[in-house]
Amino acid sequence: MPPLPKTSQETILKVASELADAEGLRGVGVRAIAAKLQISPGTLYNVIGDIDDIILRVNERSLIGLRDALRNAAATERDPMTNVLAAAKAYVDFVRANPRRWSMLIEYTLATDKELPPWYHKTLDETIGTVDQLLRPLIAGRRDRQRAVTILWAALEGIASLTATGKLSLVSDEDPHVLVKLLISRFLGTYQSEDITEDRREAVSRPRRKPADPSARRGRA
């Protein structure tokens, strides 16, 4: 196949990704992309859209990359905990491999009036859904599991953020792999064991309840 035309979404997003890898969010600008491609700034607006669209699409690709990394890591049918730990390792590896692109995903927030497009939501749900599936054998209760997913997702983002931006060295220079493993083994290790917290008790005492906000589980129907 011939090399992609200079003016295509594919090419533009590729260049934008390279810029993000090299210089972070600050380096991704319409003029920089256009210059690197030797096209006019205006063309970007014909082909994709404004800078928000471009960055969001790059971020979506990062999300897809992470999603696939998580799936691959946990593909084999070992025991649940091993799977989760493998996925966590893959998460850390992925962030390590793409520090600036990942921190762009974390740093970038839309203007207060705009909001994230549906296709971004969809990919985000798929990625988080992967985590949910990993936890399913470990935590049966839907609500409990959703809480665990949220906490782990947030904690991994936090560790990744500190790592990627270099701020972790301010806190400690621990290996992220060690931290994540510690987090998971401690946080997840106590499920299905002795003590039951208030929240869990609540979940157990009410076996059936109506589903929560239906819009919140798009990916699974």
Residues 100-139 that bind a second copy (CB under 8 A): 103, 106-109, 111-112, 116, 121, 124-125, 128
Shorter beta-carbon distance to DNA: residue 11 or 133: 11
* Distance of alpha carbon 70 from alpha carbon 83, whole angstroms: 10
Burial (CB < 10 A; 0-12, 13-18, 19+), residue 193, is exposed
Shorter beta-carbon distance to DNA: residue 109 or 172: 109
Interface contacts to DNA, rule CB under 7 A: 5, 7, 28-32, 38-43, 45-47, 50-52
Distance of CA 27 to the CA centre of its chain: 21
Shorter beta-carbon distance to a second copy: residue 20 or 33: 20
Shorter beta-carbon distance to DNA: residue 7 or 165: 7
Q: Does 21 bind a second copy (CB under 8 A)?
A: no
Shorter beta-carbon distance to a second copy: residue 75 or 97: 97
Per-position DSSP letters for 159-199, written without gaps between them:
HHHHHHHTTHHHH----HHHHHHHHHHHHHHTTTSS---HH
Residues 156-215 that bind a second copy (CB under 8 A): 156-159, 161-162, 165, 168, 170-174, 178-179, 182-183, 185-187, 189-190, 195, 197, 199, 212-213
Q: Give the CA radius of gyration of the chain.
A: 20
* Distance of alpha carbon 137 from alpha carbon 77, whole angstroms: 12
In three-state secondary structure terms, 137 is: coil
* Distance of alpha carbon 12 from alpha carbon 38, whole angstroms: 11
Residues interacting with a second copy, by CB under 8 A?
23-26, 103, 106-109, 111-112, 116, 121, 124-125, 128, 146-147, 149-151, 153-159, 161-162, 165, 168, 170-174, 178-179, 182-183, 185-187, 189-190, 195, 197, 199, 212-213, 216
